[in-house]
Structure 1
């Protein structure tokens, strides 16, 4: 950006008005830096409220002689207030004794208006009694001059008032800039925190923000869920890449909403596999029933997606309960992950399970059998583990049947 020079320096007051409507651009900020050195600004907008045509002419001539040419005249207080509502001024020269609305009433109206409260007002009046002067000052007038106005004194008072206003406005601009920078910083912090919460559980994110570097905990009672689409590789080979990603995003977004609704923690997606857990990072005595409920909802969500998109996708879901280790790994791209035999078994139960069914290990069966209908499937070979007894989750037992024994509900 080309830096402005003294020769093309803009009016300070013009810049202040421009900033109020347009904000602090880089060019305007540079112009303001130059403008801060000037003691006065001859381009300031001055409003003269005086009912005497002769006195208005005299004061305008004095102002022009002093170099202030941007002067607007008002023949009474009401016209002055109307002009102040329509355009911006940097200084008001105000008579007291005027028809319709007098100077005291104008000062009172300015004092009540937050946008005009700080506008400098110099009272120029023949009403020079002490009580009148005191009242003007109490109503917010910055200065008081008796009539007839002395040109030297008027010039000094106008210059001093404009300089004070300019410095006040520059200070307000600095404060505005600081507030905007603070808001931008807060916005970026909110974005960062939102992104962090998309990756990590809230309690874990809070611990990282507090400066913890190594977060790893052992959880003795959790239920792990693996959900994997059946034969998805074949579909991927015959589907456009964008369509494929959109499909997975649609399905997993539905699962994410279910996880939020059930208060469960999504851990990650691995290709077309979705992993979540119940019972951490906050312990829950109902982790198995909560995960079983979402597993059934996930099958329903897949059925909805198939119906809406005209597809025939199938999914295997596997559940297992037991102890795990959970923690954060990575220093740049954080990952909250799970480790342990319970995780491995949940994945094996899923991979050896039946499509479009919730396949459950014996560990989870023991935690669910009082509240859910389960059918024993028998033992299956789980890679790396051996023969494992598994069950199929049918649904939740209606309250009226809760008194029946487990053997009657299979």
Structure 2
């Protein structure tokens, strides 16, 4: 039976392979299950340092010749921000510095809302900063970062302005459902 959760033109494509990085076992399991339910292939690791190894970025495992790291072809990295030893921002910077994998989209997750942290991650190359817990609507958006033809490309500075406009209360602005729509 065909997978109806994938967009129609992606049903026969290979699944999107996501490297999930989170020091919390429960959070890793939740994200793993949510992504797999949405037809993603998932590899999970418990730390930024372990992610560096899997991505071939650790000193002892560097292979500068191959864009496929350790036999894995990752389409995205989804990482928690707050982790011991190496946080999500440090992992993001390491990925974006490596010419073999800098094009892999990196999405940062955190249960903490911190506007300057969010802005810094987006400016340094993160595709998005998602507030935990991960929700199904977030998972649907992740697919667009791997298939940019179906998404609007955003630059870091444009996203920074948008982040600065997020209300301090962390609540979405409420608008009437038909605001801005002309009815004839």
TM-score per shorter chain, which class? 0.5 to 0.7
**Aligned residue number for residue 91 of structure 2:** 106
Check conservation: 1:120, 1:165, Cα contact below 8 A. no
Could you say which residue in structure 2 is the equivalent of 1:161?
145
Three-state SS of the structure 2 residue aligned to 1:48 is strand
Asked which structure has the greater CA Rg, the reply is 1
In the alignment, the residues of structure 1 paired with residue 94 and residue 149 of structure 2 have an alpha-carbon distance, to the nearest angstrom, of 19
Displacement, 1:88? 2.6
Query: The residue matched to 1:81 in structure 2 has which SS?
Result: helix
Q: Could you tell me which of 26, 29, 50 is aligned with 1:79?
A: 50
- Partners of 1:128 and 1:79 lie apart in 2 by 25
After TM superposition, list the pairs within 5 Å mapping 1:196-345 onto structure 2: none
Q: Secondary structure at the match of 1:117?
A: coil
Equivalent position to 2:134, from 149, 154, 160: 149
Aligned-residue offset at 1:42: 5.5
Contact kept, 8 Å, 1:97 with 1:103, in 2: the verdict is: yes
C-alpha separation between the residues in 2 aligned to 1:80 and 1:165?
28
Aligned residues: 130
| Structure 1 runs (4+) greater than 4 angstroms displaced | 39-42
Query: What is the root-mean-square deviation in Å for CA atoms of aligned residues?
Result: 2.3
Question: Which structure shows the higher helix fraction?
Answer: 1
In structure 1, stretches of 5+ residues that fail to align are 1-6, 8-36, 168-410
Report if the CA contact (8 A) 2:77-2:105 is conserved: yes
> With structure 1 as the length reference, what TM-score do the two structures score?
0.30
Larger RCO, structure (CA 8 Å, separation 6 or more): 2
| Unmatched runs of 5 consecutive residues or more in structure 2 | 3-7, 57-69, 152-184
Does 2:80 match 1:95? yes
C-alpha distance after superposition, 1:335-357 (max 9, x if no partner): xxxxxxxxxxxxxxxxxxxxxxx
Aligned partner of residue 38 in structure 1, secondary structure: helix
Name which of 100, 114, 118 aligns with 1:129.
114
Which of 7, 15, 22 matches 1:50?
22
Counterpart position of 1:138: 123
Structure (1/2) with the larger strand percentage? 1
Q: 1:56 to 1:42 in 2, by over 3 A?
A: farther
